[in-house]
Every structure is written in C-alpha cells, then in structure tokens.
Amino acid sequence: MAFRFFIPAIVWGLVILMAISMPPGNIPKSGIFSIPHFDKLVHFVLFAVFGLLFSFGFFKQSKQGIFHLRFVVFTILAGVIYGSLTEVLQHFYFAGRDGNIIDVLFNLFGTVFGVLLFSFILRIRPGFLK
C-alpha cells in the first residue's frame, strides 16, 4: 500500500484530534458558535473532509485508478472507528468534554458524505484526480 497517499487523511485526523480535545472554555460562546447544535455540523464537516481525503488516498494507491467498493467500505469503517475513538477520548480523557452516540452518528454521516462527494467528483471530472 502506498502510504504517502494517506498522509493528507492522517494529518486531517490529527486536526480532528486537536479540535475535539480543545477545552470548552476555548470555544467562543457567541456568533456562529451559539447556533443550537452547531457542534453536530462541526462533526459532520470534519469527518466529511476525512472521508474525502481517505477516499482520495485509496484512489491514488489503486494501480488501476479505480475507486472500488472495498475502498468505500474501508473508508466508512475507518470513519466509524476513528469517530468512535474520538468520542471515547472525549468522554474519558479530555477534561470538560463529553462523548456521545449522536456525535458518532454525525461523524459517520460526514464520512459517508465525503465518500459520496469524492465519488461524485470522479464522475463529473474523471481526469481531475489523476
């Protein structure tokens, strides 16, 4: 497996880890952050980018330049595992943070959206990513 193609997804995974470990006191309480359930949108967007970058990694490491169904499954599985892990870390290890199953679902929805967006980009612009 060509590890280098997954570096953007791994770096983004670290960005996610930094974001979810941020103490609640460091997050503004006004403006866009005061929108009810704004954190769910943040989870969705963070994991949509994760799904997109992970899909890109699988696509680029494929010798045929094809986005196989197994890549979709692996990407979604990676999103579920990492999304669940981040919630466990929030619940048990990050002070002032709490993990919950709804956040895991939004992590999953974001990952699936990222995979679908990648697939859509491949269909409308097949040569764009080669």
Distances (CA, A) of 24 to 40, 54, 124: 15, 28, 41
In a domain, 27, yes or no: no
In a domain, 118, yes or no: yes
Report pLDDT digits (tens) over 24-66: 666 666 666 666 677 889 999 999 999 999 999 988 887 666 6
DSSP character for 100? -
In a domain, 22, yes or no: no
In a domain, 113, yes or no: yes
Domain interval for residue 115: 40-130
Mean of per-residue pLDDT scores for the chain: 86
In a domain, 2, yes or no: no
The amino acid sitting at 86 is T
In a domain, 90, yes or no: yes
Neighbours of 28 (CB within 10 A): 8
Report pLDDT digits (tens) over 73-124: 999 999 999 999 999 988 888 777 778 899 999 999 999 999 999 989 888 8
Q: DSSP string spanning 24-69?
A: GGGS-SSGGGGSTTHHHHHHHHHHHHHHHHHHHHHHHH-TT----H
Q: Domain tally for the chain? A: 1
In a domain, 25, yes or no: no
In a domain, 47, yes or no: yes
